[in-house]
Amino acid sequence: MNILDKIVKDKHKEVKLKKELIPIEAYEQLPYFGMKTTSLSNKLRASNSGIIAEFKRKSPSKSIINDTSLVEDVAIGYENAGVCGMSILTDEIYFGGTMDDLINARESCSLPLLRKEFIIDEYQIIEAKAIGADAILLIAAILTKAEIKQFSELAKRLNLDVLLEVHNEDELHKSIMPSLDMLGVNNRNLKTFEVSLEISKELSTLIPDDFVKVSESGISSVEAIKELQPFGYQGFLIGENFMKTDNPGESAKQFIKSLI
């Protein structure tokens, strides 16, 4: 069993338990559930940098990345740096994140927030809206075409943007549908954790221009972004590069200055 399979197996257990403890109706009563969202895809289209900066404490491939920075400080720092949006890991077991991280970021900044999670149930999409997310991540590798359609259409009804992540051509072909806003190519193989920007380049021509193209993982330099922009990428999700520093917000600020 590879790491992705393990994460999904544990996620099914986690969601099953949550559904027994907290009914959907409870989430629908929370203040953020009725609040207006900000479109991450529109921000990316209008941006010169296209940076989606991540808050991530640890990962299965790198172990601890940053367990001292507060999400509130990082959110404020990212907003001051001029990023387009903020991605927040809410998986606790493998990434050290919580839903409270997203709530605290929501209270601290006005950036579009992407809930980065292993979504395997509609329940998690309701959760995302209730805790203040503006967008959700769907991972093609763990979902059927029917599930991608079902989950993305629910997200659109809740006015959430949808970033659909693919790793190869097969995943891309099963995923293209009008209920998506952004198509993300993950340069990291989730089974081996090897990284290559060539994946983004190879898949770029297969992604229709209706969608915002986002490149994810392994982007640690301005040169990498400039290398990918001619391939039509308007979004760049950067996680470890900022988080592994003492001041992620300042790191993002200097990065964007160098880029534009």
- Which residue numbers are catalytic? 54, 56, 116, 165, 186, 216-217
Alpha helices in 158-197 (DSSP H): 169-175
Q: Both tokens of residue 113? A: 């927030």
Helix (H) or strand (E) holding 72: helix 71-81
Residue type, 255: F
Q: Is residue 237 classed exposed, middle or buried when 0-12, 13-18 and 19+ CB atoms within 10 A define those classes?
A: buried
Q: How far apart are CA 83 and CA 29, in angstroms?
A: 31
**Strand, coil or helix: 140:** helix
CA-to-CA separations, 198 to 170, 175, 231, 239, in angstroms, rounded? 16, 20, 11, 19
Cβ(229)–Cβ(259) under 8 Å? Answer: no
**Strand, coil or helix: 51:** strand
Nearest CA to 239 out of 1, 99, 14, 56 is that of: 56
CA-to-CA separations, 175 to 45, 143, 172, 224, in angstroms, rounded? 21, 9, 5, 26
Q: Which residues have CB under 8 Å from 12's CB, separation 6+?
A: 120
- Tell me the backbone φ, ψ of residue 64, rounded to 5 degrees: -70, 125
